[in-house]
């Protein structure tokens, strides 16, 4: 069976190759720091499942310290004249590997369930999408190298260039998700929920709705994740007040409440994988450039969600 662990090993090998590539580049300043950063991240993928928690924690701390010390900047892209020339000779073949990724993901999504070796599933059922993505990358790489007659090391060199352009932000989403776990363990959610319910007098259903949707959005802004906000706000306000005291419908409340949380996700740097990483990936000079564009849409949708819930939740 192909499992998530195999995908982790593949990812670890890629990061290890990035680290080696950086270490071998004698011309670059800070090459050892950067090599150590990507090498440490590689170690987490390769060995994380087998290391004790403390060692994994030390790996994370090492990544934080290395990132704070400043990493090497990415290599420059190939000159535009060269790329234009390549574009001319490669033509529309260039789109084949690019579109291979979604096509393979789609095929695995549709047919992956049916693949078996004997009686065992070929792909670990719980993680089929992530495994599909990894398989799609392998197919696209093979196609790309064959169609474009690229040297075998080119994907690693160019991949490292893009990865180093993202830099330490690559590790931020995973670190934030871990912070969420620490917040949960320390009971941050419960305290915030109590504060909100004590601070606002819930005299009628509409006030409860507004508090709930705005609370979902704001708590998501703080935690970076609507999934963390949902249990807190729903247990604190949604169920006892909207459903319990004012007789609202739990389905409408939950569905629109979660979507209000998503409006919060659009507005916060804490949701790094959606907001900070794309800014780095697209080489925006402003780290918050994506958030700034999203805020108007998010505010309008939050208002619409609130109105929709206020209108519909008490009608049964």
Partner 1 sequence: MLVLSGIAIVIVGFALRLNPLVVVGVAGVVTGMAGGSSLTGVIETFGRAFVENRYVGIVWLVLPVIGLLERAGLRERVQTLITTLRAITTARVLLAYLLLRQVTSALGLNALLGQAQMVRPLIAPMAEAAEERHGAITASIRMEIRAFAAATDNIGLFFGEDVFIAIGSVLLMKGFLQQSGYVVAPLDLALWAIPTAILAFLVHGTRLLLLDRRLKRARAAAR
Site residues for partner 1, 34-73, by CB under 8 A, read 41, 44-45, 48-49, 51-61, 63-64, 67-68
Taking CB under 8 A as the criterion, which residues in 153-192 touch partner 1? Answer: 154-163, 168-183, 185-188, 191-192
The smaller minimum CB distance to partner 1, of residues 80 and 117, is found at: 80
From 27-35, 98-106, 196-204, 206-214, span contacting partner 1 (CB under 8 A):
98-106
Q: How far is the CB of 170 from partner 1 (least distance, A)?
A: 6
CB of 121 to partner 1, least distance (A): 17
Site for partner 1 in 289-308 (CB under 8 A): 289-290, 292-294, 296-297, 300-301, 304-305, 308
Name which of 171 and 211 has its Cβ closer to partner 1. Answer: 171
Task: In angstroms, give the least distance from the CB of 143 to partner 1.
Answer: 9
Chain positions 223 to 252 lying near partner 1, rule: CB under 8 A, are 226-227, 230-231, 234-235, 239, 243, 250-252
- Closest separation between CB of residue 265 and partner 1, Å? 7
Q: Using CB under 8 A, which residues numbered 14 to 33 contact partner 1? A: 14-15
Contact 123, 2 (CB under 8 A): yes
Q: Is the Cβ–Cβ distance between 63 and 40 less than 8 Å?
A: yes
Residue in 280, 278, 284, 256 with CA at minimum distance from that of residue 266: 278
Least CB distance from residue 118 to partner 1, whole Å? 27
| Residue whose token pair is 């871990």 | 178
Which residues are 123's β-sheet partners?
A: 2
Binding test (CB under 8 A) with partner 1, winner from 88, 119, 198, 203: 88
Q: Which of residues 118 and 199 has its CB atom nearest to partner 1 in the complex?
A: 199
Dist CA 35 CA 45 (whole Å): 15
d(C-alpha 107, C-alpha 104), whole Å: 5
Residue 260: CB atoms within 10 Å: 31
Catalogue the long-range contacts made by 138-147 (C-beta closer than 8 Å, 24 or more residues apart): 139/100, 139/104, 140/97, 140/98, 140/100, 140/101, 140/104, 141/97, 143/96, 143/97, 143/100, 144/97, 147/90, 147/93, 147/96, 147/97
Report if residue 205 touches partner 1, rule: CB under 8 A: no
Q: Which of 106, 113, 115, 245 binds partner 1 (CB under 8 A)?
A: 106
Kindly state the smallest distance separating residue 311's Cβ from partner 1, in Å: 10
The contacts of residue 82 (CB under 8 Å, 6+ apart) are: none
Structure tokens at 9: 């090993």
Q: Tell me the Cα Rg of the chain.
A: 24
Q: By CB under 8 A, what part of segment 258-287 binds partner 1?
A: 258-259, 262, 265-266, 269-270, 272-279, 281-287
Burial class (CB in 10 A: 0-12, 13-18, 19+), 257: buried
């Amino acid at each position: 069976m192909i499992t998530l662990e195999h995908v982790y090993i593949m990812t670890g090998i890629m990061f290890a190759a990035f680290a080696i590539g950086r270490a071998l580049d004698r011309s670059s300043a800070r090459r050892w720091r950067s090599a150590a950063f990507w090498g440490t991240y590689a170690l987490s993928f390769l060995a994380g499942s087998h290391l004790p928690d403390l060692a994994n924690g030390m790996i994370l701390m090492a990544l934080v310290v290395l990132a704070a010390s400043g990493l090497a900047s990415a290599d420059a892209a190939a000159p535009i004249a060269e790329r234009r020339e390549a574009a001319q000779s490669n033509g529309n073949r260039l789109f084949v590997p690019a579109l291979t990724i979604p096509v393979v993901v789609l095929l695995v999504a549709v047919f992956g369930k049916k693949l078996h070796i004997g009686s065992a599933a070929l792909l670990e059922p719980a993680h089929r999408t992530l495994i599909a993505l990894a398989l799609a990358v392998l197919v696209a790489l093979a196609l790309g190298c064959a169609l474009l007659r690229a040297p075998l090391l080119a994907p690693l060199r160019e991949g490292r260039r893009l990865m180093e352009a993202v830099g330490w932000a690559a590790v931020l989403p995973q670190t934030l998700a871990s912070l969420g776990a620490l917040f949960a363990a320390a009971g941050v959610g419960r305290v915030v929920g109590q504060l909100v319910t004590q601070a606002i007098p819930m005299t009628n259903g509409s006030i409860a709705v507004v508090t709930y949707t705005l609370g979902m959005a704001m708590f998501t802004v703080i935690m970076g994740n609507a999934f963390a906000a949902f249990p807190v706000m729903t247990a604190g306000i949604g169920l006892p007040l909207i459903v319990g005291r004012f007789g609202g419908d739990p389905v409408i409340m939950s569905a629109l409440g979660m979507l209000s949380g998503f409006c919060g996700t659009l507005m916060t740097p804490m949701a790094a994988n959606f907001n900070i990483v794309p800014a780095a990936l697209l080489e925006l000079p402003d780290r918050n450039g994506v958030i700034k564009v999203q805020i108007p849409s998010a505010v309008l949708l939050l208002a619409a969600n609130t109105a929709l819930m206020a209108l519909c939740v008490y009608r049964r």
